[in-house]
């Protein structure tokens, strides 16, 4: 597609793009993929009866390799590496250069990146609406700067884990052990002399007990804590992490409302 075909005359004669950037990127990637497919089909014919089988084996092994590296699955990764190296052995004409494997990886990750771009386009506006009227505390602002990229590109489980980690650090810094002990002595277990929990759960309850946060904020912190634990130890089913970001900002603002 020529520059003239992409750009036209817009309002007041200014240049106006007929095709969004993401459309042009998808078209370029699809064209590259189709050209490569045509090249491999030609090579398969030149290789004789075994050519098609070798190309299929190569593509299957390359797919397995990419998926294995992404999943970091130990045994599966070893198996797909072995299959890939067999496909790329010196006996195969496909193995004359690592370029074919590199091209395959680029195409695979290219389509994944396009999916992430689509997610980022949608979430950009959601995040913009969330932050436009807020005046967050310095701690909340620093947190949002770190978590924004994870959210924009769809790393929802990682977002929730980050939210929990931030709360863990902030409660540890803001709620002293003495406050935990004060709260713990009012509980049944504390009255029986059992040791106080100086973990995130204990510090959240202590913060509520001494008046640093109210019930709404305490519940928000507990939600992030519980779901953050699940995101680390289980297979999470989180489709959108913006609510966890909201809750984390809410808690950080409450903890630091006297230090703005």
Domain count of the fold of the chain: 2
pLDDT for residue 75: 46
Domain shared by 140 and 71, yes or no? no
Mean pLDDT value across the chain: 81
Asked if residues 152 and 120 have their Cβ atoms less than 8 Å apart, the reply is yes
pLDDT at residue number 13 = 47
pLDDT in tens, 1-32: 454 554 454 444 454 556 677 788 888 888 88
Residue 123 lies in a domain: no
Is 220 within a domain? yes
Range in 89-98, 133-142, 218-227, 249-258 with the lowest mean pLDDT: 89-98
| pLDDT value at 34 more than 60 | yes
Last residue of a domain, one of 52, 86, 116: 116
Lowest mean pLDDT among 8-17, 55-64, 185-194: 8-17
Higher pLDDT, 131 or 214: 214
Residues 103 and 142 in one domain: no
Q: What is the pLDDT of residue 212?
A: 95
pTM of the entire predicted model = 0.69
Residues 164 and 206 in one domain: yes
Same domain, 100 and 151: no
pLDDT above 70 as % of the chain: 77
pLDDT band at 36 (very low <50, low <70, confident <90, very high): confident
What is the phi/psi pair of residue 185, to 5°?
A: -65, -15
Work out the angle at residue 58's Cα, subtended by the Cα atoms of residues 28 and 113, and round it to the nearest 5 degrees: 35
- What would the mean pLDDT of 42-71 be, rounded to a whole number? 74
Print the domain residue range for 167.
134-255
| pLDDT score at 240 | 80
* Residue 73 pLDDT: 46
Give the ranges where the chain is alpha helix by DSSP (H): 3-6, 21-46, 51-71, 74-87, 99-131, 138-152, 156-174, 177-184, 188-191, 200-209, 215-233, 242-255
State mean pLDDT over 210-216: 96
């Amino acid at each position: 597609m020529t520059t003239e075909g992409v750009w036209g005359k817009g309002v007041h004669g200014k240049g106006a793009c007929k095709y969004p950037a993401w459309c042009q990127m998808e078209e370029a990637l699809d064209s590259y993929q189709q050209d490569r497919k045509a090249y491999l089909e030609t090579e398969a014919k030149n290789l004789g009866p075994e050519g098609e089988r070798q190309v299929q084996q190569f593509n299957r092994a390359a797919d397995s390799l990419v998926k294995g590296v992404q999943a970091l699955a130990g045994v599966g990764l070893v198996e797909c590496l072995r299959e890939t190296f067999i496909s790329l052995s010196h006996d195969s004409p496909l193995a004359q250069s690592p370029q074919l494997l590199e091209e395959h990886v680029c195409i695979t990750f290219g389509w994944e990146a396009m999916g992430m771009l689509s997610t980022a386009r949608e979430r950009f506006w959601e995040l913009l609406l969330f932050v436009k009227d807020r005046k967050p505390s310095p701690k909340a602002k620093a947190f949002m700067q770190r978590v924004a990229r994870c959210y924009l590109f769809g790393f929802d489980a990682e977002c929730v884990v980050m939210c929990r980690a931030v709360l863990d650090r902030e409660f540890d810094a803001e709620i002293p052990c003495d406050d935990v002990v004060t709260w713990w002595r009012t509980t049944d277990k504390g009255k029986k002399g059992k040791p106080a929990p100086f973990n995130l759960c204990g510090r959240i309850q202590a913060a509520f007990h001494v008046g640093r946060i109210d019930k709404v904020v305490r519940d928000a912190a507990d939600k992030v804590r519980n779901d953050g634990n699940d995101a680390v130890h289980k297979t999470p089913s989180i489709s959108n992490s913006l609510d966890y970001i909201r809750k984390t900002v809410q808690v950080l603002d409450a903890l630091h409302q006297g230090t703005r």
